[in-house]
Every structure is written in C-alpha cells, then in structure tokens.
Amino acid sequence: MIEVIGLTRRFGRSAAVDDLSFTVNPGKITGFLGPNGAGKTTTLRIILGLDRPTTGRATVNGVPYRTLDRPLTHVGALLDASAVQGGRRADQHLQWLARTNGISFRGINGLLETVGLGDAGRRRVGGLSLGMKQRLGVAAALLGDPEVLLLDEPLNGLDPEGIRWMRGLLKSLAAEGRTVLVSSHLMHEMAVTADHLIVIGRGRLLADTEITQFVRPGMSLEDTFMRVIEESAP
C-alpha cells in the first residue's frame, strides 16, 4: 500500500506538487494520470525517497521509503528505463542491483526469460532498443519480488506485442495481491488496463476513483480526461 498525505513540493515559488493526498491499494492496477508537468514524476520520486517533500509525507507499507530495510524486496520501481550505463551486460546490471539488497543471483536468468530478454542477457545494455531497456527495467523492478510496484511510463518504446505483454504482466501482478501504480499518457491503454485512477493536474488531485466511475457516459477515457483537465484550468 502507498499513502501520500498532504504532499507539497515547491521548487522556488512554484509548487510542482500541491497538497496532494491519495492511497494506492493492493490487488489492483492504479493508473496515475496527468498532463506533462502535472507532478507525477515528482510524486513518484518523493515516494521513492529520491526527493524530499516541502511539507507532507509519503509512506510505503506505512513507513517512509528511506527507512525500509532492503527496499527492493518491498518496492520495485521503473523510473527512466534508458537511465542505465550502456557498458554493462544486461545480466551484470541486474547482478549489481541484486547485490545492493542481498538478493540471490539465482533468479536473474529466469527473470530475464520472464521479461522476454532470455537471449539478450549477455548483450551490453547500450546496444538494446528502448523497448528492450524497458523490459530490463521491469526485470530490475521485479528483482526483489516486491509487494509494491511503481512504474513510470512503462509502455514507452514497447512494440504492440510488448504492450500486450506488459498489460498481461500488470494484471497478473495485481491479481497476486500486489500494489501496482502505473503512470502513462496512453489513455487507450489505461482504459483497458487500469482498475482505479488517480488523476492530477498542476500538482493537485483531480480525481481518485474507480475507472468505471471516472469515465463519463458516452465518452472515452481520453475524452473524459481532457474534459477533466480543461475544467480544472483556472
């Protein structure tokens, strides 16, 4: 479970996140939506302890991320899949990451198979396509078998087969009772993947509801989203 409570993050005078509160529950896929600059990535960074809030707090399973022991065994995160050093092999990337949290290397080959990189494990990361890096990032997030997953734009660079694979993976992770928070700009994909939606704009909460209740009658998710964003503009 992820809890964000009264979270505000100011950069200078402007607030990237403005008194934001929401809870992400286990057992379903929660879509995290908002236009560019809405504060999604800032919120995810604060949840992961990469940035400190100006006020408010964020907790994972009831405690701040930075106080978790062996955090990768509680939370798996995919932030920017292309943010990896290219000189290492894919399996070596997972090895150092596993070692930081005392996770055994034994699962790595299986994990590479799971994300469809079985043949690419011994290739250098720099030579992988964005879609393959995205799969490697998912493998990194799953490394510690965490109960909570935070995925920022996991569909970037994936081909149609990859998108279908990701949809199935997210659904199975949620069905296993995990907490799954996914940010995306792809409304058509969110419409068929997410169970619950958290929509933010200008750092503020615009909606926190089941997707079936969010989408207005006779409109698509995309149309509803655009309408909600417009209505929130000053």
Minimum CB separation from another protein for residue 45, in Å?
A: 8
Note whether 229 binds another protein by CB under 8 A. no
Under the binding rule (CB under 8 A), the answer on residue 59 touching another protein is: no
Q: Could you tell me which stretch among 4-12, 69-77, 201-209, 211-219 binds another protein (CB under 8 A)? A: 69-77
SS (H, E, C) the chain: CEEEEEEEEEECCEEEEEEEEEEECCCCEEEEECCCCCCHHHHHHHHCCCCCCCEEEEEECCECHHHCCCHHHCEEEECCCCCCCCCCEHHHHHHHHHHHCCCCHHHHHHHHHHCCCCCCCCCEHHHCCHHHHHHHHHHHHHCCCCCEEEEECCCCCCCHHHHHHHHHHHHHHHHCCCEEEEECCCHHHHHHHCCEEEEEECCEEEEEEEHHHHCCCCCCHHHHHHHHHHHHCC
Any contact of residue 50 with another protein (CB under 8 A)? yes
Q: How far apart are CA 4 and CA 49, in angstroms?
A: 13
Q: Are 135 and 178 in contact (CB under 8 A)?
A: no
Residue 213 C-beta: closest distance to another protein, Å: 33
The identity of residue 120, as a single letter, is: A
* Burial class of residue 3, CB neighbours in 10 A (0-12, 13-18, 19+): middle
Q: Which is nearer to another protein, 136 or 205 (CB)?
A: 136
The least CB distance from residue 155 to another protein, in Å, is: 19
Piece of 17-25, 29-37, 75-83, 212-220 that binds another protein (CB under 8 A): 75-83
71 binds another protein per the rule CB under 8 A: yes
Which residue lies nearer to another protein by CB, 96 or 168? 96
- Of 23, 59, 92, 114, which one interacts with another protein (CB under 8 A)? 92
Shortest spacing between CB 98 and another protein, in angstroms: 8
- Which of 72, 142 has the CB closer to another protein? 72
**CB of residue 54 vs another protein: minimum separation in angstroms?**
13
Distance CA 23, CA 151 (A): 16
Q: Which of 86, 110, 118, 177 binds another protein (CB under 8 A)?
A: 86
User: Which of 25, 55, 85, 172 is in the footprint of another protein by CB under 8 A?
Assistant: 85
Q: Which of 58, 72, 182, 206 binds another protein (CB under 8 A)?
A: 72
Q: Which of residues 127-166 bind another protein (CB under 8 A)?
A: 140
Question: Applying CB under 8 A, which residues contact another protein?
Answer: 45, 48-52, 65-66, 68, 71-72, 75, 77, 79-80, 82-89, 92, 95-97, 99-102, 140
